[in-house]
Structure 1
């Protein structure tokens, strides 16, 4: 039986959005496992890491030129990135919330899709181009992990733009790519992670501002009854990236969401007002 090791020695991991909450935990995890790590982020200075195997780069995933240039720089520095974690995107902490779809400007919808869907497409394509250019070499851990969201499964009443963009990448894109990547490199895989409510500083702040949010997002709607630590998502990403542990897992969505089982449709107050 082969050694069940999660070692990423001589593996180059490229992470978009790596300076965020989940991203920072993921960067730490891969560095501790001896990987070379490149981070693409609009604000890489937020990274609290200094490491000889870490390359922070400023990049905009919604820009084709920016993505292609960043991948080229990363490849020159550490070699082809065989692992790509497509995490960057606009999330619910930065997007305006709308009471109804009728209140949403077309510009918001387009901007969300340009960043979350087109940006993930550009990232996936750049990664796959790199694999194709080195397909005659012996590559390890050839894996694309796309970071979606529980909202991609359950929707989000106040942010249909966000939920729809996450559905597009974690379902449509992953299912389309799973047969594509294996034709480029036989052991290449693509999967998605769908995190649930995350235990971050931002989430705790929002729960302070709205005491009902903790109950609505994780108390009433998850089996474990609590938000997910960022490290739990990072560990799941590492699992999917490592071919020793998940070499026959592809085309899947791993829900790291404390057992999310939907979303509360009506608060007690809303229901009382609407139906009594």
Structure 2
């Protein structure tokens, strides 16, 4: 039996689409028949090999770039964006405690991981105001958060702070604001723990570290990018999740918390 997600011909904008989770999300939404605009920052990567999608570059920290992104998405992909998936993000590789962190790192992480989502959501909502009822019918925003936003992350406080603000600040706020523009509009966050992406490749080679990282995870496994992408698709569906809004979906194998790691440890969500 086939399952209709109600996303055929729906315009979906996915940020950070060249990365592991973003790329798998693009492929899943392609299978569901959506019209996809795939955003990237510096490297288009494997997106260049996918037919039938619109690829657009933008710096999410730049207000003018974000305005241009939504304008070009509408012009090149059949009208206004209906579903916004805020997937992009950075995780500074160097372990740095708050006491040692310089202001430049803090500012850049928050600029990408928090100000970027603000700029994207603002531009999306402004465009949604002028959109037709068909676009508004499937309107929703999905953030990709992190277990770091729920449990914190020693030596990566900048990343944890930004993710927490998105998950517990923007998500519940925007779920109340979007309905003033699109009465059935929804906002949710999908929050993974460990995911086998290129960003986590080095850390995942250390089996002892992985064992410690999964110590409070009942499923005792690292997620794949498509594990997260499928949850994004389910939440985006007006048929499967049309009455779900303001929620934080943890895609973390049942993680209950974090163990303390030694300073030399490496971690990425």
Give TM-score, length-normalised by structure 2. 0.91
> Which shifted more, 194-203 or 64-73?
194-203
CA shift, 1:178, in A, is: 0.8
- Alpha-carbon contact 1:26-1:237 (below 8 Å) kept: yes
Question: Offset of 1:266 from its aligned partner?
Answer: 4.9
Tell whether 2:194 aligns with 1:197: yes
Give the Cα separation in 1 of the matches to 2:156 and 2:6.
39
**Structure 1: which 5+ runs fail to align?**
271-276
Deviation beyond 6 Å, 4+ runs, structure 1: none
**2:17 paired with 1:18:** yes
1:9 shift after superposition: 1.6
Give 1 or 2 for the bigger CA radius of gyration: 1
In structure 2, distance between residues paired with 1:166 and 1:140:
28
**Residue 274 of structure 1: aligned partner:** none
What is the aligned length?
261
CA 196–159 in structure 1, closer or farther in 2 if over 3 Å, else same: same
Q: Is the 8 A contact 1:11 1:140 kept in 2?
A: no
Answer yes or no: is the 8 Å Cα contact 1:44–1:57 preserved in 2: no
Matched residues in 2 for 1:266 and 1:51: separation?
40
* Structure 2 unpaired stretches of 5+: none
Distance 1:137 1:245 in 2: 18
Partner residue in 1 for 2:210: 214
In the TM superposition, residue 15 of structure 1 has moved relative to its aligned partner by 0.5
In the superposition, relative to structure 1, how do residues 137 and 245 fare at CA in structure 2: closer, same or farther (>3 Å)? closer
Counterparts of 1:136-155 in structure 2 under 5 Å?
Answer: 136-137=133-134, 139-155=136-152
Q: TM-score if structure 1 supplies the norm length? A: 0.89
| Superposition deviation, residue 200 in structure 1 | 2.4
Which residue is 1:87 aligned to? 87
Aligned to 1:97: 95
Give the Å deviation of 1:52: 4.5
Query: CA RMSD, aligned part only?
Result: 1.8
